[in-house]
Structure 1
Amino acid sequence: MGIEIEDKFDVTADYQLPDLSGLAEVVGPKSFQLVALYYDTPDLRLARRGVTLRRRRGGADPGWHLKLPKAKGVRQEIAIPLTRSTKVVPAELAELVRAYTRGAELGVVAELDTRRSVTLLKDGDRKLVEIADDRVKGTVYGTDPPAVMRWREVEAELLEGDEKLLAKTGKRLRKAGATPSPATSKLAKLLDPPPAPHAGLEPGTAGHTVMAYLSGQVTALLSQDPRVRREEEDAVHQMRVAARRLRSALKAFKPVVRNTSEIQDELRWLGGVLGEVRDLEVIRARFARELAGLPPELVVGPVRARLGDDLLRREREGYDTIRETLGGERYYALLDALDALVSEPELGKAAADPAETRLADVAAANWNRVTKAYETAQAIDDPEQREIAMHDVRKAAKRARYTAEALRDTLGKRMGTLAKLAEDVQEVLGAHQDGVVAQETLAEEAGAARRAGEDTFTYGVLAGLERAAADRAHEDFPRVWSETMAGVEKVL
C-alpha cells in the first residue's frame, strides 16, 4: 500500500513542457503505453465516492490498483499483481470496496488508453518528482456504440522529494499554461459521475451546518472500512470514533434532524462490535509499555506472553467478528440508512433557524447535561454507586465535546475552547476508568497464570501501578472540574 501525493493539470494538445532544470537533475522524457480497464457497479457506486479500481497493463507498475479516498490531494493505493482474467475482480480487492458496492456486481465500465511521457527530477539515485505527460483516449462502455473521449493532461507526483519541490514544479507547469484540473482522476473526468446525493440546504442555517457535519462523518466511517478489513493501525479506533460522533450528533441535534433513533441504535451496535478489538489494542499496548519500564528483576515468569500473545489472540478473534459484521446485511442496511440520512433527512423546524443562535443553544444545553450528571453523582452517598454515576458524567462530557467540535467551523474559537474543556473532563475520568478496567484484566490473567502454576508476582506489580494511576486521576478530578467550570463560564 502507498500514499499518492500529486497535482493534476489540464493542458492543450500543443502544450510544451517547460524547462525544469534548476529544480533538480532532469532525466527523460521516456515514453510508454498504458491500457487500463476500470471496474465499478452499473450505477457507478465507486466513482461517486472517489474510489478507483483498475486493471492496468504497461508501464513500470502493471497490475490491479485500488485507490481509496483519504484526504485532499492524498489517496491510499493498494496494488496486487495482474491476474489472467479481465472479467473477475480479485477477491481481496472486491472485499475492500464492499462498503461502497453493498454486494452489487463489479464489471468493466470504462477503458483508458494512455500514451505517457515521463520526466524525472532526481538527486543522484533518488527519484524526487515524476512528471507524467499523458495523451489519453477514454472509452465508456454501456452505450451503443461506446462513447469515446480524447484529452491531454499532466501530473506531477511526489516520490522521494519534499512538498516544496512539488510546489515549485507545479508553479513552472502553470506558468507554461497548465491549469489545475478539477477532476480527481482520469476516470472521474471520463465518466463525470454525479456526486453522492446530499440534502440541498441554505448555507448559514442550522440544517446546513448539521448536515454538512453528518455527511463528513459518514464519509469518515466509510473511508475507514477498507482499513479495518486490512487490520491497519488505528483504523478500528477511527471507525469507532466516526460512529460515536454520528450517534452523538444525532442525539444532540434532535431539534434539527428528526426520527433517527433507529440509526442511533445501529451505530451503538456497530461501535460495540468495534469496541472489543479497540479496547484490547489499547490495553495490550498499555501493558507492553508498563512491562518495558519495569526493572528486569520485577518481570517474573511468562507474563509478557500472557499479556501480549494471549491478548493478541483475543484481538485476532475480535477481528474475525468484525469482518463477519462488515460483510453482513445488517451493516449494509446501516450504511444505506446513513446514505438516506445525508441525502434526504427528515428535518425539524429548527433546521431553518440561523446556525449562530440555534446551535449555540444546543452546545449550551449539552454542557448543562454534564453539570447535571455531575451534581447527581455527587449527591450519592455510596462510594461505589457514585463511581458508577461518574461514568455518566464522562459520557455526557464526551457528547458535549463532540457537539462543540461539530460547531467549531461555524461558531468559531469558543466552540474549540468548549470542546477542549469537555475533553479535559472526559480524559481525567477516562484515565480513572482505564485504570480500573486494567486491574480487572490483570486479575483475570493472573488467575489463568496461577491455575497454570506460573509465578504471578509481576501481575501484582502491574496492578499496583494501575491502582496508583486510577487514584491519581480520581484525586486530580476536583481540580480539573474547578478549572473547567471557570473556563465554561467564559465561553457560554
Structure 2
Amino acid sequence: MVQTKREIERKYEAASGAEVPDLTGVSGIADVVARGVAELDAVYYDTAELRLVADGITLRRRTGGGDEGWHLKFPVSAGIRDEIREPLADTLPRTLSGLVRSRTRGTGVVPVVRLVSKRDVRHLVDDQGELLAELSVDSVRAERVTSDGGTAAWTEIEVELADDADPMLLDAVEKRLRKAGITPSPATSKLARALAETAPKPKKTPGRKRAHPTAGDHVLTYIRHQTEAIVALDPAVRRDLPDSVHQMRVATRRLRSALRTYGKILDRGVTDPVGDELKWLAAELGIDRDQEVLDARLCARLDGLSRTLILGPVRSRLGIWSVARRGGSRRRTVGVLDGTRYLALLDSLDALLAAPPLLPAASSAPERALPRAVLKEYERLATRVGHALELPPGEDRDLAMHDARKAAKRARYAAEAAGPALGKPAKRFARRMKALQTLLGDHQDSVVARDALRTLAVQAHAAGEPGFTWGLLYGREEATAAAGERELPGVWERASRPRVRSALER
C-alpha cells in the first residue's frame, strides 16, 4: 500500500570525538529515550545520467528498520521532502515507476550507490511521553555500484520532526548541537554525499572565457526553464497535488509561445512540430484544468447566494455533475502522461536544447532582437482587441474577446521571456498584459459558466426540479460578462499607452 509522509529534518556533521549533548529541557523536551540500534542496507537507484539526483530526488530500496521498503523522496523546500513509500519488493513498484517516468523516460533506473548504516535511534519526547522528534546517529559506509567508483565512510546526525510538532523545535535543538561543536551538514542527503565522495576524479579541462549573453542565449534559457518545469510537475500531476495541472499547462503554453514568438531566433521549420505537440499536451491538460476552474467558479457563485434563493437539490446536482466530469478527465490526464507520445515530446525538447536550431539573429544583442519579437505580439493583440471593440454584444464579440485573450497571454509570455535581458520595461509591459488577460479571461470564464449552467438547468428541469437558482446564476454570469465588456476600453487604453511601447523600443 502506498504511503506518503511529509519529512521535515536536518542533518549534521558528527566530527570525530563530538558527542550528542543532553537535550532535555530544550523547547519542551522532557526526556531522551533510547530506541536501540538498527542495521540499514539501502540501494539507491537512478538513471545512468543521474537525472533524479540532479533534481534533488532520491529513490531507494532499503531493508532493516521499521520502515523497510521502497522510498521515493521529492524536495519541497530546504529540509522538507515528501516521502512516498511502497512495501518491500524485488522490483521497482509500478506506482513509483510512474512518478519518475518524466525523468527516466524509456531507460529505466539502475543501482548507483549502496549505503550500509548503523543507526542509533533516540526519541525526543515531552512530559506526556508524546514524540516531538527523532534523533539518530548514523555510521554510514557508502559504495558506488560502478566499476570506476570508490567507497566512503562518515558519521552524521539526523533530527526529524514528528508529525504535527512545532518546527521551531528544530531551531532550538540546532542551537544546542552547535554549542557542542556539531554543525549542519553541507550535503542535502546521504545519497548526494555518497555520490560526491565516491565519484571518479574528474578530468581537468581548460576554462573558457564567457562572452556576453546573446539573444539566443536568453531565449534558450527561458525554454530550458519551462521544459524543466514540465518535467518537475509531472509527478505532482500524477499525485493530484493542488494547482499542479494548472502549473504544468502554463509551462507548456509558455514554452509553445516562446517557440512561436522567437521564430527569428530559432528556426520554426524545426520548432513548429515541437510546438504542435505542446499544443496537444496543453489541450489534454486543459480537460482537467478547465473543469477544475469551472467547478470553483460555480461553487463560489452558489456560496454567494442566500439560502432563500437556493431552491431544490442544487448543491447535490452540481456535485454529481462535477464528480462525473472530473473523474473521467483525471483518468485521461494520467493516461496521457503514461503514453509514448508525451515521452517522445520530452525527448524532442531535450534534443532541441542539445542542438538548438539557431538562426543568424540569435547571435545579436538581446536589446535589439527581443523587443522586436515582443512588439510583434503586441501588434497582433492590438488588432484583435480593436476587432472585439467594434462588435456589438453577442456570440461574435465573445469569440473575438477570447481571441484577444489568447493574444494578450502570448504578448505577456513574450515579455516575461525577455524580462531578464530587458529589465523593468519588459516587466512593466508584462504586468499590463496580465491585467488585460485577467479581464478577458474572466469574461471567457463567464461564457463557459453560462453554457454549463444552461446544461444543469435542462437536467434539473427534466428531473422535475426547480430551475430558479440555475436561472439566477446564469443572469449573474451575464451581468459579469457585460461589466467586463464595459471595462475593456479603459483597461486596453492603459495597456496600450505609447510609453509602454517606447520603453521597449529604447
TM-score by length of 2: 0.84
The one-letter code sitting in structure 1 at the alignment partner of 2:190 is: K
The answer to whether structure 1 residue 461 and structure 2 residue 466 are counterparts is: no
Q: Which residue of 2 aligns with 1:277?
A: 288
Show the counterpart of 2:68. 62
TM-superposition CA deviations, 1:10-30 (whole Å, max 9, x none) = 564445557778853565485
Distance, in Å, in 1 between the alignment partners of 2:218 and 2:249 is 22
Conserved in 2, the CA contact under 8 Å of 1:129 and 1:161?
A: no
Cα distance in 2 for partners of 1:174, 1:206 equals 51
- For residues 116 and 256 of structure 1, do their structure 2 counterparts lie closer, same or farther at Cα, with a shift above 3 Å needed? farther
Partner of 1:53: 59
Deviations 1:191-237 (A, max 9, x none): 3589xxxxx98563323322222222222111221121222221211
Counterpart contact for 1:207–1:351, Cα < 8 Å: yes
- Deviations along 1:106-146, whole A, 9 cap, x unmatched? 454432112334567666567666554432111232439x8
SS in 2 for 1:254: coil
**1:166 paired residue number:** 171
Partner of 1:197: none
Which one-letter code corresponds to 2:63 in the other structure?
Answer: R
Q: Which moved more, 1:239-248 or 1:9-18?
A: 9-18
Render the CA deviation track for 1:367-421: whole Å, top value 9, x for unaligned.
3332233234445579643442222221111112222223334433333322221
Name which of 254, 258, 273 aligns with 1:245. 254
CA contact (8 A) 1:3 1:77 kept: yes
Distance 1:479 1:314 in 2: 37
Q: Which moved more, 1:9-18 or 1:228-237?
A: 9-18
Which of 100, 103, 116 pairs up with 1:100? 103
Q: Which piece of structure 1 moves more, 104-113 or 274-283?
A: 104-113
In the alignment, the residues of structure 1 paired with residue 253 and residue 298 of structure 2 have an alpha-carbon distance, to the nearest angstrom, of 26
Take 2:464 and 2:233, find their aligned partners in 1: how far apart are those partners? 43
Q: Would the alpha carbon gap of residues 59 and 275 (structure 1) be closer, same or farther in structure 2, given more than 3 Å must change? A: same
Which blocks of at least 5 consecutive residues in structure 2 are unaligned? 201-208
Tell me by how many angstroms 1:424 deviates.
Answer: 0.6
Who is 2:219 aligned against? 210
With over 3 angstroms needed to count, the CA separation of the structure-2 counterparts of 1:302 and 1:367, relative to structure 1, is same
What CA distance in whole angstroms lies between the structure 2 residues aligned with 1:154 and 1:384? Answer: 66
Mapping for residues 64-463 of structure 1, pairs under 5 Å: 64-71=70-77, 73-80=79-86, 82-83=87-88, 85=89, 87-117=90-120, 132-143=136-147, 147-155=150-158, 157=160, 160-162=165-167, 166=171, 169=174, 173=178, 176=181, 178=183, 180-181=185-186, 183-192=187-196, 202=211, 204-258=213-267, 259-379=270-390, 384-463=395-474
Q: Deviations over 1:415-473 (max 9, x none)?
A: 33222211110011111111111101111222222223332222111111111111111
Secondary structure class of the residue paired with 1:216: helix
Deviates more, 1:269-278 or 1:103-112: 103-112
Structure 1 position 264, deviation (Å):
0.9
> SS at the partner of 2:408?
helix
Q: What is the aligned partner in structure 1 of residue 27 from structure 2?
A: 24
Distance 1:358 1:173, change over 3 A: farther
Deviation, 1:340, is: 1.8
Amino acid at match of 1:488: V
**8 A contact 1:68–1:77 mirrored in 2:** yes
1:488 aligns with 2:497: no
Q: Which moved more, 1:377-386 or 1:300-309?
A: 377-386
* Alpha-carbon distance change, 383 to 340 in structure 1, aligned in 2, over 3 angstroms: same
Q: Between the two proteins, what is the percent identity of the paired residues?
A: 40
> What RMSD over aligned residues (CA atoms) do the two structures have, in Å?
3.3
* Equivalent in the alignment of 1:476: 487
Distance 1:313 1:10, change over 3 A: same
Counterpart CA distance in 1 for 2:212 and 2:158 is 34
In structure 2, do the counterparts of structure 1 residues 382 and 435 end up closer, same or farther at CA, with 3 Å as the change threshold?
closer
Separation in 2 of the partners of 1:133 and 1:36?
Answer: 16
Q: Which amino acid aligns with 2:114?
A: E
- Give the conservation status (yes or no) of the 8 Å contact 1:288–1:308: no
Q: Aligned equivalents of 1:385 and 1:143: distance in 2?
A: 68
SS of 2:496's partner is helix
Give CA deviations for 1:252-297 in whole Å, capped at 9, x if unaligned.
Answer: 2223333211111111101101101111111112212222222223
Return 5+ residue gaps in structure 1 as ranges: 195-199
Contact 2:12–2:182 (8 Å) recurs in 1: no
Alpha-carbon distance in structure 2 between the residues aligned to 1:120 and 1:410: 52
Number of residue pairs the alignment of both structures matches: 482
- Structure 1: distance between partners of 2:221 and 2:180: 36
